[in-house]
Structure 1
Amino acid sequence: MSSNDYQMRGSSMLIIGVLVGILHYYHVKSLYENDRHFSHLSSIEREMCFRSEMGLYYSFYKRIVTSHSFKDGLYKLTHDNLTEYPDTINALHKFNIYPEAMIGGLWRIYHLGVKTFGLNGKQCYMIHRGEGLPPVESCEGFGEPILFYLEVVWMFAGITAFVLYYFGSHLSGSQIGGCLTILSFFINHTESTRVQWTPPLRESFAYPFILLHCALISSILQDSRKTMPRPSFWKGLMSLFSSFVSLLFWQFSQFILTCEIAILIAIYAFGFIKRHCLSQILAWISSHIVKIFLSKIFPHSDNFHTLMYTCAPEFQRLPWSYGVGLMKSLLLPLVLIALLLVFWNPTFHILAVLREHFRKKLLFPRYQNALQLNDVVKLVEPAIVFNTCLLIAFFVLSMMAMRLKLFLTPQMCVLVSLIASKESVNSIQILREKKSLEYLTLLIIFCAIYLSGIDNIKRQRSIEGEYSNYPLEELLTWVQMKTKSSDVFAGPMPVMASILLSTGRPIVNHPYYEDEAMRNRTLLVYSLFSRKTPSEAFESIKRLGANFAVLEANKCFDHMQPRKGCKMTDLWDIEDPMNTKRPPLCPTLFSNDASPFERVFFNAEYVVLKVGLR
């Protein structure tokens, strides 16, 4: 390929990649708006949309944008005494909230520019909600911090689509392959990402860089096979940068990088790559996450903490419907066909070499030559082997925790691009000889993918809703109006995140469950949902320094948790077998005698108990 052709190909890839990124940006943005009617919600309703971990992460961004200065906001994050009262922690480091710090800084720059030039950064108006609810003010524009934050998240989603196209194009050596990847990604969008439903999660920021790292490693492996390999200094530097950023943004990135290292070592051991291509990266594994995976393999290793994870929908095993959906969209069949075509010739060569080796061993008993597979290894592109092994690793992880399908499905979309690779085309003689037939076949595949999956896109685009959670809004309003700013709260993890975000009250526990000390705190707080005596629960909450404890109906009443073994009493029966014969405590505190607590607020979903002096 001449330098002009190479530049032309690079330019066209850049243009298509940018267009794909913009398309995905608007796609996820409109899906979120359609699902929540987000633009017409009040500030507190918008914050309530960010439940559990999402609310926790967003609360740190809110602290930066509401502080007197960026420096002051950053100090509040590095000396945080609200999130794990009474401890003071470095939240910036502990929770991987560098994206929030970055976006908070950008918003402050934008806000300063708007003020300097006398511009109007947002427009506000009153929304009448009906059904006896009071009217609320709603604001639009980048001057509204939450909308600015989401805009950056959607941009990261656009980068994800751009990198996917780049990955598919480079792995297959064809821009058609990149287009196949992107089409498959949009067709299987629900199984590929959840940024459109849960924007503040760490994966929304880290995944584009994880994907970029995999793409760059693949490109370096491809270059290693060239007769005159071009210097890959910039690719190596970008690979280092992407791995650094992904580790900075998401604690789970280390496990993906560990998988990559293991695969690189394996393919080096089998001779697919040379020693100079192998790089060492250190990673440690958090013990409680290992326990989660062990609980999937050895069910009897369950305890309270692992069940808190595995009872969540995203940590359940992959359902059969997932595989059925991938079959209907043709993603799974096409991936299998692509891998079959790519490995067809090498497999036959391996069988031929093995047959010849054992034939000589039988005919000549003294035949001592070692089995030579070097020539066969050269037939297989190391980047393809790397990505196939990565697919297998993601499949194993996804079988243990359903949320990890968000790695598996995009990886399948990347491997679909191999349908358009020269390895696939060369394995079929008639396509190798007739270029026009090759293009016709690819066009038919494009049409088949589109027709089989267009209903998925229509179904996703047809989702329309309007967020409303008046019981939670009522609780947060009561906390804001009736309690002091220094009052400390304990309760269910998702509710604590909402209280921290919307009222700024100190909390003793939160949804970031990776920390052992926090797991122990949460165990004490959740004694409210156990079979212990009221006095024992009271002492546990009092020991943590909380002034108020919140009860939530769906954790109090067993009939509201349909999954077997996942009721709060089920978890406590494993943790505290001595009290299995006692009645559950929470229903009594929720609607009957709350002593030694004092019930100070209640509605259909929530109860607030005051922890007074005994």
Structure 2
Amino acid sequence: MAVKHRRSGDDRTTSKPKKNSNTPISDTGIKTDVKQEERQTPPSRAVVLVCAICCGLLHSYHVSSLFENDRHFSHLSDLEREMTFRTEMGLYYSYYKTLVEADNFVVGLNRLVVDNLTEYPDTINTLRRFNLYPEVVLGGGYRMFTHITTWLGLETKVCWQVNRGHDLLPVVSCEGLGDPMYFYLAGAWFSAALTVALLFLYGTQLSENLLGGFITVLCFFFNHGEATRIQWTPPLRESFAYPWSLALGFAVTIVLRRPLTSWIYPILLGTIVMIYLLLWQFAQFTVVTTLAIVYVMYTVELIPAKAMLVILLGTTFGFLNGVVLQFGNNLLLASPLAGCILGLLLLYVFLEPLIQHLPYPTNKGTQLAFLFISSAACKIELSQVFGVDHDTHILNILRSKLSNYTDFHTLLYTCSPEFDFLPMESLMKLCETLLIPCVTFIGGAVLVNFLSLMRQNLIQRMAQENQTSGPSVWSGVDPGVVFNVLQLAVFTVMALLIMRLKLFFTPQLCVMASLLASRKYWRIIKRKEMHFALMAVIVGGMCVRGFKNMSEQRAIVGEYANPELEELIEWVRAETSQDSVFAGPMPTMANLLLSTRRPIVNHPHYENAGLRKRTKDVYSIFSRRTAKSVHETLLNMKVNFVVLQESWCQRRNRPGCGMVDLWDVEEPSNRNKAPLCPKLFHRNPAPFQRVFGNDQYVVLQVPSRYVEIPPLRAHSA
């Protein structure tokens, strides 16, 4: 076994031209000059596909090398690798580990369906509660891979011993697809490749030009830090789900441009929606925006009814299958998406025929009003029928953004930078790469083009003896572009309110940048060569800051080390029984569940109302209550040990965001009392018993009021 040392440092209805006519007719049905309208030849599908695959592979290499450079992951022990997966990442990876380590796949799957470790003493179906299909697929894939390679006698991993230094014992590190961790990460890097491949296809489709796809990919790489975080947090749901968000937008754009009534299209669209919903609990909200935008476009007669129906029926098909595969997930059953689908079906079948009898434009305004009224009413009714209030925290977060409303759970979210408003720094970075200025420029060109087409349509319509026989006011307007413009507007609002959602905003900006290569929006530039020159100048300007951003990312070199957490985990493994129950900060609980398999009572997946209450009860240890009161709370939850983290006792990344500050909002009557956490961390107050401690972590035993539990061997770093 080799010994290695760590490095130092830490339909479109194309009107056919009349025969013998010397003047060509454009796609809009309006006569144009050949010099003004240069039709673009669609790129070969084979060429587009090859380019997309190459771009995807390049991105996969990019993010995997960034991940390795940041943590020196190849030279970490299995425990250290697990420790790098903090918060929800550790929770998700623990279920993959369960499938991999089980005697067989069916046994592992049963442990996920009947799980009593994640929310002890309750037994939950994790496949119903969480979006774990990435882990199910990868866990099953790993077992098949190892079975086949073992049968073939193939070596699938290489191991070596690593001397860690700093008085730490040497560890064994393995690399290759035969290692469960590397197989899991390969799934994440495949998802990253799929993301950029779909971005290329999306940009090429929207601009109808191969150059548009390359511009989209370049913009994505140049603004990588503002567009994705898969290179730092591969197990998060967005890492696996976001490509399917792009696939949904790509498919909707195609359907809006070429409405097709074959039954296969709703099924294909529904399959995308289903996969998207299975991979991420947040997916329902972006699917809702897609449905709403499409129905608004149908209401104003920008798209035909068959295009809207294909998308609505496809979404319904995907939603129903998603509910079934998630064992009737309550959050999905009573979600805004369920309300929107039901509301739109009721509106289209029952209300729309009545509304159409109203005079124009009153009928259109009424139709749009009922879109929101019926959807909201159906969502509220579904929540009452199923008795679900899991998503109330989302409304409270939005309420807190628009008012002075605060509560414990809302502050726990909004005090995290990911849920804060989009910082000006992010907007400045997008401006420095010319992405926002470029898309603003493109938006102006698109608006001028649309207004020009509408003006020509109105003039031609007024010239007809019977005004209703002329072209539609929207004739020639590209519904695919309109959809993406409106989607960008929605994503902009989402990102401004919640910084984490910039992962939708920035890639959508990159997709819109592809229109720089679309000739139909740059008719003012007579010659194609001049258009290419303009593109070259703009892309060259992007490169100045873009390449600098890429080099700065690739210059990040570090090495993960957290000896205090490692010491805590090793102590738990050695000194506590397998059925000992733990409580504490959510990120630490995820690590304990993953690395020790001990039962926990709270975890980082905060979308469940019951779990939010559990966590609040556990976090009373950070309040100003008495030790006896907190002890009673933890005892009622059947907790044996509670973990304290020193930084959480005085955690305050900004004024009003310390854990004790959150409790001051919740319990203002206790403001004059001393906080409990520092006392527990630095002393040994009854009725708790200190059984472990180092510079960062302390473990307190929670003795039973009825049976005196003998203290474990105390340990101090």
The alignment's TM-score, normalised by the length of structure 1, stands at: 0.92
Aligned residue number for residue 365 of structure 1: none
Moved more, 452-461 or 373-382: 373-382
CA distance 1:390–1:371, shift in 2 (3 Å)? farther
Q: Is the 8 A contact 2:457 2:471 kept in 1?
A: no
Could you say which residue in structure 2 is the equivalent of 1:406? Answer: 503
- What is the deviation of 1:425? 2.3
**Cα contact 1:91–1:97 (8 A) shared by 2:** yes
Aligned to 2:178: 143
Q: Which amino acid aligns with 1:514?
A: E
Match status 1:463 vs 2:493 = no
> How far 1:575 sits from its partner (Å)?
1.2
The answer on whether the counterparts of 1:342 and 1:423 sit within 8 Å (CA) in structure 2 is no
**Partner deviation per Cα, 1:467-508 (whole Å, 9 max, x = no partner):** 011111110010011101110100000000000000000000
CA-to-aligned-CA distance 1:243-299 (integer Å, 9 cap, x gap) = 10010110100000001111111111121111111133467132221221221112x
Q: Which amino acid aligns with 1:200?
A: P
- Of 237, 243, 254, the residue aligned with 1:202 is 237
The residue number in structure 2 matching 1:94 is: 129
Query: Is the aligned partner of 1:78 residue 2:81?
Result: no
Task: Name the CA distance, whole Å, in 1 between partners of 2:102 and 2:453.
Answer: 67
Give yes or no for contact 1:51–1:498 (8 Å, CA) kept in 2.
yes
Indicate conservation of the 8 Å contact 1:491/1:526, yes or no.
Answer: yes
Aligned to 1:593: 684
Deviation at 1:403, TM superposition (A): 0.3
| Structure 1 residue corresponding to 2:671, chosen from 570, 574, 580 | 580
* 1:219-238 superposed matches below 5 A: 219-224=254-259, 234-238=264-268
Residue type of the partner of 1:460?
Answer: Q
State yes or no: 1:342 paired with 2:439.
Answer: no
Is residue 81–residue 87 contact of structure 1 (8 Å, CA) maintained in 2?
A: yes
**Secondary structure, in 3 states, of the residue corresponding to 2:587?**
helix
1:262 aligns to what? 292
State the shift of 1:529 in Å: 0.4
User: AA paired with 1:466?
Assistant: E
* Alignment counterpart, residue 32 of structure 1, candidates 67, 84, 87: 67
Match of 2:491 in 1: 394
Distance change >3 Å, CA 373–CA 340, structure 1 → 2: farther
Q: Match of 2:448, as an amino acid?
A: W
The aligned counterpart of 2:308 is 278
What CA deviation, in whole Å up to 9, does each residue of 1:222-257 have, x standing for no partner? 114xxxxx6665554332111100101101000000
Amino acid at match of 1:566: C
**For residues 348 and 506 of structure 1, do their structure 2 counterparts lie closer, same or farther at Cα, with a shift above 3 Å needed?**
same
Q: How do 1:412-427 residues align onto structure 2 when only pairs under 5 Å count?
A: 412-426=509-523
Identity in percent:
44
Report the AA paired with residue 656 of structure 2: G
Deviations 1:329-360 (A, max 9, x none): 01001101111112203225657999999x9x
Residue type at the aligned position of 2:279: F
Q: Which runs of 5+ in 1 are unaligned?
A: 225-229, 360-368
User: How many angstroms apart in 1 are the aligned matches of 2:658 and 2:237?
Assistant: 28
The CA deviation at 1:554 is 1.2
Contact 2:635-2:704 at 8 Å conserved across structures: no
1:419 partner amino acid: L
Are the aligned partners of 2:257 and 2:479 in contact in 1 as well (CA < 8 Å)? Answer: yes
**Equivalent residues of 2:583, 2:642 under 8 A apart:** yes
Which of residues 487, 511, 527 in structure 2 aligns to 1:434?
Answer: 527
Q: Using the TM superposition, give the Cα deviation of residue 440 of structure 1 relative to its aligned residue in structure 2, in angstroms.
A: 2.5
The Cα of 1:123 is off from its aligned counterpart by 2.0
- The equivalent residue for 2:398 is 293
Per the alignment, do residues 352 and 17 of structure 1 end up closer, same or farther by CA in structure 2, a change over 3 Å counting?
Answer: closer
Residues 183 and 48 of structure 1: is their aligned pair in 2 closer, same or farther, counting only changes over 3 Å? same
Distance apart, 1:323 and its partner CA: 1.2
Distance 1:549 1:373, change over 3 A: farther
1:324 aligns with 2:419: no
Distance apart, 1:135 and its partner CA: 1.1
For the pair 1:484 / 2:577, whether they are aligned, the reply is: yes
Tell me the CA shift for residue 441 of structure 1.
Answer: 2.3
C-alpha separation between the residues in 2 aligned to 1:538 and 1:504?
Answer: 24
State the AA in 2 paired with 1:395.
T
How far apart, in 1, do the equivalents of 2:392 and 2:653 lie?
Answer: 30
Match of 1:157, as an amino acid?
A
Change over 3 Å in CA distance of 1:335–1:233 after alignment to 2: farther
Take 1:531 and 1:293, find their aligned partners in 2: how far apart are those partners?
Answer: 28
Matches within 5 A, 1:564-579: 564-579=655-670
Structure 1 SS opposite 2:302: coil
When residues 437 and 469 of structure 1 are mapped into structure 2, their CA distance, relative to the original with a 3 A threshold, is same
Inter-partner Cα distance in structure 2 for 1:609 and 1:192: 42
SS at match of 1:86: coil
SS in structure 2 opposite 1:102?
A: helix
Conservation of the 8 A alpha-carbon contact between 2:216 and 2:514: yes
- Kept in 1, the 8 Å contact 2:449–2:521? The answer is no
Matched, 1:382 2:482: no
Deviation, 1:389, is 0.6
* Equivalent pair of 1:598/1:609 in contact (CA under 8 Å): yes
SS in structure 2 of the partner of residue 499 of structure 1: helix
* Alignment check: 8 A CA contact 1:53 1:511 kept: yes
RMSD over aligned CA atoms reads 2.3
* Distance in 1 between residues matched to 2:470 and 2:581, nearest whole Å: 67
Q: 1:480, 1:441 → 2: CA distance?
A: 63
Please tell me whether the aligned partners of residues 121 and 141 of structure 1 are also in contact (alpha carbons under 8 angstroms).
Answer: yes
Q: Which residue, 415, 437, 445 being the options, matches 1:333?
A: 437
SS in 1 for 2:44: helix
User: TM-score, with normalisation over the residues of structure 2?
Assistant: 0.79
Q: Relative to structure 1, is the Cα distance of residues 398 and 264 closer, same or farther in structure 2, using a 3 angstrom cutoff?
A: same
Q: SS in structure 2 opposite 1:600?
A: strand
- Contact kept? 2:162, 2:171, Cα under 8 Å: yes
- Aligned partner of residue 595 in structure 2, secondary structure: helix
Query: Counterpart of 2:698 in 1: which secondary structure?
Result: strand
CA distance in 2, matches of 1:351, 1:7: 28
Return closer, same or farther for 1:92/1:145 CA change in 2, 3 Å cut-off.
Answer: same
What's 2:274 paired with?
A: 244
- Per-residue CA distance 1:40-64 (angstroms, 9 max, x = gap): 0000000000001000000000000
| Equivalent AA in structure 2 for residue 150 of structure 1 | L
Whether the 8 Å contact between 1:140 and 1:147 is mirrored in structure 2 is yes
The 3-state SS of whatever aligns with 1:138 is strand
The reply to whether residue 501 of structure 1 matches residue 580 of structure 2 is no
Q: Secondary structure at the match of 1:551?
A: strand
Deviation at 1:613, TM superposition (A): 2.1
Structure 2 counterpart of 1:605, from 684, 696, 701: 696
Maintained 8 Å contact 2:43/2:209: no
Q: Which amino acid aligns with 2:146?
A: H
Distance 2:155 2:455 in 1: 71
Aligned equivalents of 1:276 and 1:485: distance in 2? 59
Q: Is the 8 A contact 2:622 2:660 kept in 1?
A: yes
Q: 1:578: how far off? A: 2.1
Residues 350 and 373 in structure 1, CA contact (< 8 A), matched pair in contact too: no
Question: C-alpha distance in 1, partners of 2:428/2:41?
Answer: 41
Provide Cα deviations, 1:2-32, integer angstroms capped at 9, x if missing partner. Answer: xxx9896101000100000000000000000
Q: In 1, are the aligned partners of 2:42 and 2:209 still within 8 Å (CA)?
A: no
- Letter aligned with residue 277 of structure 2: L
Higher mean C-alpha displacement, 508-517 vs 334-343? 334-343
**1:443 CA drift (Å):** 2.5
Q: Structure 1 residues 371, 287: closer, same or farther in 2, change over 3 A?
A: farther
- Structure 2 distance, partners of 1:46, 1:576, is 39
Q: In 1, distance between residues paired with 2:264 and 2:42?
A: 17
Whether the 8 Å CA contact 1:99–1:205 is kept in 2: the answer is: yes
User: What secondary structure does 2:512 align onto?
Assistant: helix
Moved over 4 A (4+): 5-8, 230-235, 348-357, 369-374
CA distance in 2, matches of 1:165, 1:377: 28
Counterpart Cα distance in 2 of 1:207 and 1:373 = 43
Deviation at 1:374, TM superposition (A): 6.2
* Structure-1 residue corresponding to 2:48: 13
Aligned residue identity for 1:413: C
